[in-house]
Amino acid sequence: MERKRITIVGVGLIGGSLALQLHEKKLSSKLIGVDSNKDHAKKAVELELVDEIMSLDEAIDQSDIIMLAIPVDKLVKLLPSIMDKIEKQIVIDLGSTKSQLVESIKSHPKRARYVATHPMWGTEYSGPQAAVRGAFENKAVIICNANESDADALEWTRAMYKKIGMHLLEMEAKAHDLHAAYVSHISHITSFALANTVLEKEREEQAIFELASAGFESTVRLAKSNPAMWVPIFMQNKENVLDVLKEHIAQLTRFKESIEKEDNDYLMKLIEEANKIRRIIK
Amino acid sequence: MERKRITIVGVGLIGGSLALQLHEKKLSSKLIGVDSNKDHAKKAVELELVDEIMSLDEAIDQSDIIMLAIPVDKLVKLLPSIMDKIEKQIVIDLGSTKSQLVESIKSHPKRARYVATHPMWGTEYSGPQAAVRGAFENKAVIICNANESDADALEWTRAMYKKIGMHLLEMEAKAHDLHAAYVSHISHITSFALANTVLEKEREEQAIFELASAGFESTVRLAKSNPAMWVPIFMQNKENVLDVLKEHIAQLTRFKESIEKEDNDYLMKLIEEANKIRRIIK
């Protein structure tokens, strides 16, 4: 693939990890960082995630590709104004919700230069220092509403994601947001709520955490995730997140009732049902 | 340490992993397995987890130490009858709940030969083929009601757990069961319920799992755990498990309400609170 001049807006966990991977796979002739957080911008250069930092306008001028890795509330505000400024450049976002974003530039004259994507990778850490080498490899990336993008923009986007090791899926933004609520957003809510449950108790019981086991750690790990990223995701995906959250509370209530009633058979059935998740995760 | 003839009752995940570790650390001159499941017993010999399989009575006769790694409902039934049969042997259990068990032999004439323990290690798999080399290392083990055990029994138990790499904690059975509800039992319930939430949706949406990410996998991993182990744990620790489960449902309801009301500030506060779990898990 021909190397491109690539701007990354938001050089944190996602943007920083992407930068490392774009360089590693020889996709970039130049990597430009844009970040409203000056400390992050400085750190991204120090860590050699990007070659240099520019203002957004400068960066747009000097790039072939503009990739957006910022929280989804900022994305919805920024994307239309970026589309106003570009000529032939390709604009790609990496946000965790897609419907509002796609809707926000639906009628924009440059709509076809934009590709909506969601690479399904992340960690519970944030900022440029959280960037990870080899990120995204063997994970799924979803490209949304592909038929609304230009063929050349799509082609480069697909080739780039393949090159950094991802497998491609395509779906409409609405379907994406529904599925993301089930396989990602709810996991974060349960983890946040579990952390709060246990921290609430800790006020009374100092010793509690000496016992924290590997099982606890894996279910509560995501509770360290960045609120500036997750609050906008939950709000933008409100309907789907509420649907799955209500279903989850209903499922937990079944466990509660089976224990209250000492109904061993029903509790056994609930757990056997849950065991079927083996079909999905090995 | 002088090597001992050690019987392990229940040669599954926990008993099998323990057998590997007792051999590795040269704690045993002979390892005898007892298992009501004939396939498990046979497999444990094939895998060389234990030297041979015997009936419980034979095993008791030929052992210095008897370690019990069976589900907690079976443990409560079996422990008193084992105490009836021993002379000078030390009996140690590894169950995940402690109050009912300790209560069950409180007034037994041989009570002092028994040590109640809970090594905080496990995986979501079960059976002898799930046994893991190097298990238990760098994990906590809780010894309960130590003042009710003979000095020599305690001394050997402590030395054995140290030798296999665990760090020792001591507490009363009641305190143990409360803490275990928070740092272990609730994680399993949330994971089971999350699996059921998502599996419920899968009936409608076949594509959903192509997207499952690492975050999803870590929160739902425990849902593969064995119901024969977990139903008795939840039932024996009913009061504590219900307390924490009610608190957890209340915490989830706060997330639900903040999203329903689009109260970004409150949702932000809930997540910032959850982030404090960083104090406990690194």
pLDDT digits (tens, 9 = 90+) for B238-280: 999 999 999 999 999 999 999 999 999 999 999 999 999 988 7
The Cα–Cα gap between A268 and B126 comes to 16
What is the rounded CA–CA span in Å between residue B177 and residue B238? 10
If DSSP states are collapsed to H, E and C, what string results for A73-128? HHHHHHHHHHHHHCCCCEEEECCCCCHHHHHHCCCCCCHHHEEEEEECCCCCCCCH
Write the DSSP symbol of residue A263.
-
Task: Give me the sheet containing B114-119, strands edge to edge.
Answer: B52-53, B28-34, B4-9, B65-68, B90-93, B114-119, B140-144, B167-171
Closest residue to B259, CB basis, from A169, A234, A260: A234
Residues 33-72 of B with CB under 8 A from A: none
Take residue B124 and report the two structure tokens written for it: 């979501």
pLDDT along chain A (282 residues), means of 10: 97 98 98 98 98 98 98 97 98 97 97 97 93 94 97 98 96 94 92 92 65 77 94 97 96 98 97 91 73
3-class secondary-structure state, position A50: coil
Q: What is the ipTM of this complex?
A: 0.90
CA distances from A236 to A178, A223, B225 (A): 12, 20, 34
Q: Which of B7, B8, B6, B15 has the alpha carbon at shortest distance from B126?
A: B15
Beta bridge partners of A168: A141
The whole-number pLDDT of residue A213 equals: 66
CATH class of B176-279: mainly alpha
CB of A272 within 8 Å of a chain B CB? The answer is: yes
Alpha-carbon distance A131 to nearest alpha carbon in chain B (angstroms): 16
- Choose the closest CB to B211 out of A140, A222, A227: A140
Provide the pLDDT for residue A204.
Answer: 64
In whole angstroms, give the CA distance from residue B87 to residue B90. Answer: 9
Tell me whether the CATH fold assigned to B4-172 matches the one assigned to B176-279: no
Q: In this predicted model, what pLDDT tens digit does every residue of B23-44 receive, in sequence order?
A: 999 999 999 999 999 999 999 9
Strand A140-144 to strand B65-68: parallel, antiparallel, or no bridges (unpaired)? unpaired
Q: Which of B187, B201, B211 sits opposite A120 (nearest CB)?
A: B211
A219 touches chain B (CB under 8 A): yes
Tell me the mean pLDDT in the region B107-111: 98
User: What CATH class is the domain A4-172?
Assistant: alpha beta
Does pLDDT of B282 surpass 90?
Answer: no
pTM: 0.90
Quick one: B84 exposed, middle or buried, by C-beta within 10 A (0-12, 13-18, 19+)?
exposed
Angle at B133 between CA B128 and CA B135, to 5 degrees: 95
Domain limits, chain B: 4-172, 176-279
Please name the residues between 227 and 266 in chain A that touch chain B, using a CB distance below 8 Å.
227, 230-231, 234-235, 238, 241-242, 244-249, 251-256, 259-260, 262, 264
Q: Which of A124, A182, A235 to mutate against chain B (most B CBs within 10 Å)? A: A182
Contact A187, B216 (CB under 8 A): yes
Beta strand B4-9 with B52-53 is unpaired
In angstroms, the Cα distances linking B181 to A117, B225, B269 are 41, 16, 26
CA distance A245 to chain B (A): 7
Size of interface A-B (CB pairs under 8 A): 298
Q: What is the pLDDT of residues B175-224, one digit of tens each?
A: 999 989 988 999 999 999 999 999 887 666 666 666 666 678 888 899 99
Contact of B182 with chain A, judged by CB distance below 8 Å, is answered with yes
The minimal CB distance from A274 to the residues B187, B196, B275 is found for B196
Nearest chain B residue to A269 by CA distance is B227
A74 inside 8 A of chain B by CB:
no
Whole-number percent of chain B with pLDDT over 90: 87
pLDDT in tens, B164-178: 999 999 999 999 999
Query: Looking at CA atoms only, how far is residue A209 from chain B in angstroms?
Result: 7
Average pLDDT (B150-161) is: 98
pLDDT of B157 > 80? The answer is yes
Alpha-helical (H) ranges within A3-55 are: 13-24, 38-46
Judge contact between B62 and B29, C-beta under 8 A.
no
Tell me what percent of the residues of chain B surpass a pLDDT of 70: 95
pLDDT of residue A200: 84
